[in-house]
Amino acid sequence: MTNDVLILCAAGMLVSAYLMVGQKALFTAIRLYSAQSLFLGIVAITIAISESRHDLFVTAALTVSLKGILIPWFLMRVIDRIGIHREIEPFLNVPASLLICVGLTVVGYRVSTGFPEGARGVSHHLIGTALSMLLIGLFLMVTRKKAITQILALLTVENAVFLVAVGVTSGMPLVVELGIFFDVILAVLILGILVHRIVDRFESMDVSRLAKLKG
Amino acid sequence: MNLLVWTLVVPLLTATIGGLGGPRKFREATMVGGLSLTFGLCMATAGQFLRGTIPAAFGDALRVDGLSALVLVLCGFVGLLSSAYGVGYLRRNEARRLVTPRMRNEFYGLIPAYVFAMLLVSVSNNLGILWIAVELTTLASVFLITFHDRDTSLEAAWKFLVLGSLGLGFALLGTVLLFAAGQGQLGEGMSALHWTRFMEVAPKLHPYTLRLGVVFALIGYGTKAGLAPMHTWKPDAYREAPSPAGVLMAVGMLNGALYCVLRIHLISKASLGPAFSGDLLLTLGLLSVLIATPFILIQWNLKRLLAYSSIEHVGIMAVGVGLGAEAGVFGALLHMTYHSVAKPVAFFSAGTLAQLHSSSDFGRIGNGTFSRAPIASALFVLAALIITGSPPFGLFFSEMTILRAGFLGSHVTATSTFLAALIVLFCGFAFQVGRVVLGPPRDPAERRVPLPERFDVSTATAIVAAVLAVVSAFYLPAPLMALIRAATQVVWGTP
C-alpha cells in the first residue's frame, strides 16, 4: 500500500513535469509546479507515517506550505504585476520537445538500475523518476526563453533532488533541510526581483535578449 | 563562545551594522575594522590549529583541519584587502556623484556578508552546512553583480544566478546521493552528514551510488569554482561586479569552491581509490586551461581577461590535485596561496584603470595608460608578470612543482599539453597587457580625457598588496608554510 502511494506520487510528479513541457500559459505552468510540490508533500507524509519518522512531518509541512502555496503565489504575483502571461514560441516545438523528454526518461531509468533496492524496494523507481525530472528540468532551462519558465525549471530540478532526499534516504538531518528551504526561498525572491528589473529595463522577460556579453 | 564561532560572528555583525546605515566615516570604519578583526580571528583560529588543538563548534559541524585553516586564512586576508580597497573605491565614485543610497547599503552590507559566507564554507565539516554556505555566497554576490545597474549587469546577474543555482542543484543531488550511499552506515542525526563521518565509513559506502553522487557533486561545485565547461558565468560576473567584490569572487569564492571539490574528491578517493575523481579533476582542469587560452588571446575587456586568467588558475590547481602525486597536491595548494596573494594586485590595478576610464573595455581605455595612470599601470604590469607565472615570483614555483610532479608520474601527455597551454597563455597575456599599458597613446584630441590618478586609500592598498605579493616569492612566513603542509597532509594523507 505504502509503495503504491509512493510510486503513484512520484509518477504524478513526473507527469506534471511533462505537462509543463507541453504548456505555454505561464499560470498553468505555475499551477503544475504547485501540484508537483503537493505530490512531494504526500511522499513525505506517507514515509513519515509508515516509518514513524516525525521530522518528515516538518519536511512535508514546509514543502506543502512553501513550495505548494507560497512560491507559486509569489510567482503568480510577479506575472500579474508585469502582465506577461504566455510563453512565446520555444526554440523547439511541443511534439519534438515531448519526444526528447521521453528519451530523457529512458536515460534516467537506465542510470537508476545500478542502485541498490533499499529497504522499501522502490528506491530505484524513485531515483529513476527523479533523474528523469532533473533532465527534463535541464531541458526546459535550455529551450525556453521566458525568465519565469527558467525559474520553474530550476524549481523542478530542486523538487527532483528532494524526491531522492525524502524517498530514498528518508530525509536529511532536519537542520540541513531547514537551511536548504531557507536558501531556496531566498533564491526565488532574488530571482523574482531580478525578473522585475529585467522587465523594467528591457520591457520583456525574454532572456534570449540577454546576449550582449560574449567572448 | 569559542574562537571559531567569533570568527564567523564578527563578519556577520559587520554586515548587519554596515547594511543598516549611518554616516560614511562610521560605515567605512565598521567595514575595515570588522574585517581586520575577522582576519585577526582567522589567524588566531589557524594558530590554535597549529598548536595542536582542532578548533570545532556545534558538535563538530564546524571543524578546522589543515585544509580548512589554509582556506580560512586566505579568505580572511582577501576580505581585509577588499574592504580597504573598497573604501577608496566607493569614495572615488562618491566624488563623481555616482553613488545612490541603495548602493551604499548594498556595498557595506553585502561585502562583509559575502566574506562571512566564504568563511563558513571553509570551516564546514558537514556536507549539508557546506551546501547551504555555498548557496549563501551565491545569494550574497548577486546584488554585488547588479551594483552598477547597467543592462549588462542584469544579464550577468541572471546568468550567474541561474547557472549557479543549477550547479548547486547538482551539488545538492550529489550530497543526497552520497548520503544515500551511506545508508545504514552513517547513523542518525546531524553527524550523519559530517565529512569526518564519511571518511570513517568510506570503504563501506555503496560504490555505484557514490560514483554518481561524486560526479554530480564535482560538477556542481566545479560550476561555482568556474571549471570549464561550467565557467561561462565567470567573465560576465567579473566584468560587472565592482573590483572589491570581483576580488572576493576571484580569490575567496574560488578557494571556497575548490575546498568543496577537494572534500568530495577525498571521500571518493578514500572509497573508490584515487583514479576515479582524480582523473575527472585532471580532465576538467586541463579543459579549463585549454579553454581559457583562446579567449585570453582575443579578449576585449580588462576584467574578462582576469576572469579567464582565474579559470586558468583554478584549472592549474585541479590538474595539480588530479595528477595523483603528493608533489602535485603540494603544488596545487602552494598555487592557491600564491594566487590568493597575487590576484588582488591584478584586480586592484585593473579596477583603478577601469574606474579612471569609466569602463573596463579595451576600446574605451585605449592604449598607453602608462602616461595617464603610472602607478596603476606599473602595478598591473607587475601583477600580470606574477599571475602568468614568470620567475622569480611564487606562481612560477608552484607551477614548476606541478609540472615536475606531472612529468615524473604517469600523465606525461596531459602534462605536456598543459605546459604548451601555459606557454601560449603567457604570450597572450603579455600581448594584451602590452597593448593596454605600453603602446603609443592615441591621438590626444580624440581621446576621452580620463580622471587624473590620485594617491588614495585604494592606491595604498594596491601597493601594499603588491609588496606582499613580491615578498611572498622570497619569503613565506613559517606558520603559513606549516598550514600549506598541513593542508597537503589532509588532501594526500592516508585515508
For residues B365 and B322, the model is more confident at B322
Interface confidence (ipTM) of the complex: 0.93
What average pLDDT does this structure show over B231-240? 92
Interface of B with A in 212-251 (CB under 8 A): 212, 235-236, 239
CB contact under 8 A, B154 and A198: yes
- How far apart CA A104 and CA A92 sit, in angstroms, is 15
Mutate to test the interface with A, among B148, B176, B194, B219 (most CBs of A within 10 A): B176
Per residue in B323-352, pLDDT tens? 988 999 999 999 999 999 999 999 999 999
Q: Pseudo-torsion of CA A28, A29, A31, A32, nearest 10°?
A: 120
B151, B166, B209 ranked by CB distance to A141: nearest:
B166
Residue-averaged pLDDT of chain B: 91
- Provide the pLDDT confidence category of residue B495 given band limits of 50, 70 and 90: very low
Positive or negative CA dihedral for B303, B305, B308, B312? Answer: negative
CB contact under 8 A, A161 and B295: no
Residue B100 scores a pLDDT above 90 = no
Residue B55 scores a pLDDT above 70 = yes
B166, B177, B193 ranked by CB distance to A154: nearest:
B166
Q: pTM of the full predicted structure?
A: 0.94
- How far apart CA B262 and CA B314 sit, in angstroms, is 12
Per residue in B24-46, pLDDT tens? 899 999 999 999 999 999 999 99
Write down the domain spans for chain B: 3-492
Give the H or E element holding residue A37. Answer: helix A26-50
What average pLDDT does this structure show over B47-76? 93
Residue B397 scores a pLDDT above 50 = yes
Q: Which residues of A touch B208 (CB under 8 A)?
A: 114-116
- How far apart CA A32 and CA A22 sit, in angstroms, is 11
- A127: closest CA of chain B, how far (Å): 10
Of all residues in chain B, the one with the smallest CA distance to A55 is B189
Of all residues in chain B, the one with the smallest CA distance to A118 is B183
B297 touching A (Cβ < 8 Å): no
- A66: closest CA of chain B, how far (Å): 18
B132 touching A (Cβ < 8 Å): yes
What average pLDDT does this structure show over B282-286? 95
The least confident of A77-81, B195-199, B258-262 is: A77-81
Interface of B with A in 182-211 (CB under 8 A): 183, 189-190, 192-193, 206, 208-209
Write down the domain spans for chain A: 2-209
Q: Which residues of A touch B165 (CB under 8 A)?
A: 154, 187, 191
Mutate to test the interface with B, among A194, A198, A199, A205 (most CBs of B within 10 A): A194
Give the pLDDT of residue B446. 45
- Provide the pLDDT confidence category of residue B110 given band limits of 50, 70 and 90: very high
CB contact under 8 A, B172 and A158: yes
Give the pLDDT of residue B41. 96
Residue B96 scores a pLDDT above 90 = no
Of all residues in chain A, the one with the smallest CA distance to B139 is A187
- Provide the pLDDT confidence category of residue B186 given band limits of 50, 70 and 90: confident
Q: Which residues of A touch B (CB under 8 A)?
A: 111, 114-116, 118, 134, 137-138, 141, 147, 150, 154, 157-158, 160-161, 164-165, 168-169, 172-173, 175-176, 179-180, 182-183, 186-187, 190-191, 194, 197-198, 201-202, 207, 210-213, 215
- Say what angle helices A147-167 and A26-50 make with each other, to 10 degrees: 10
Give the pLDDT of residue A119. 58
- B357: closest CA of chain A, how far (Å): 20
Q: Which residues of B touch A137 (CB under 8 A)?
A: 169
Q: What is the 3-class SS of chain B, one letter each residue? A: CCHHHHHHHHHHHHHHHHHHCCCHHHHHHHHHHHHHHHHHHHHHHHHHHHCCCCCEECCCCEECCHHHHHHHHHHHHHHHHHHHHHHHHHHHHHHCCCCCHHHHHHHHHHHHHHHHHHHHHHHECEHHHHHHHHHHHHHHHHHHHCCCCCHHHHHHHHHHHHHHHHHHHHHHHHHHHHHHHCCCCCCCCHHHHEHHHHHHHHHHCCHHHHHHHHHHHHHHHHHHHCCCCCCCHHHHHHHHCCHHHHHHHHHHHHHHHHHHHHHHHHHHHHHHCCHHHHHHHHHHHHHHHHHHHHHHHCCCEHHHHHHHHHHHHHHHHHHHHHCCCHHHHHHHHHHHHHHHHHHHHHHHHHHHHHHHCCCCEHHHHCCCHHHCCHHHHHHHHHHHHHHCCCCCCHHHHHHHHHHHHHHHCCCHHHHHHHHHHHHHHHHHHHHHHHHHHCCCCCCCCCCCCCCCCCCCHHHHHHHHHHHHHHHHHHCCCHHHHHHHHHHHHHHHCCC
Q: Mean pLDDT, consecutive 10-residue segments, chain A of 215 residues?
A: 87 93 87 95 91 87 93 91 73 86 92 74 83 93 85 93 85 84 90 87 77 72
Give the pLDDT of residue A122. 74
Buried b / exposed e along B47-85 (16+ C-beta atoms within 10 A): ebbeeeeebbbeebbbbbbbbbbbbbbbbbbbbbbbbbb
- How far apart CA B38 and CA B300 sit, in angstroms, is 37
- A19: closest CA of chain B, how far (Å): 21
For residues A116 and B157, the model is more confident at B157
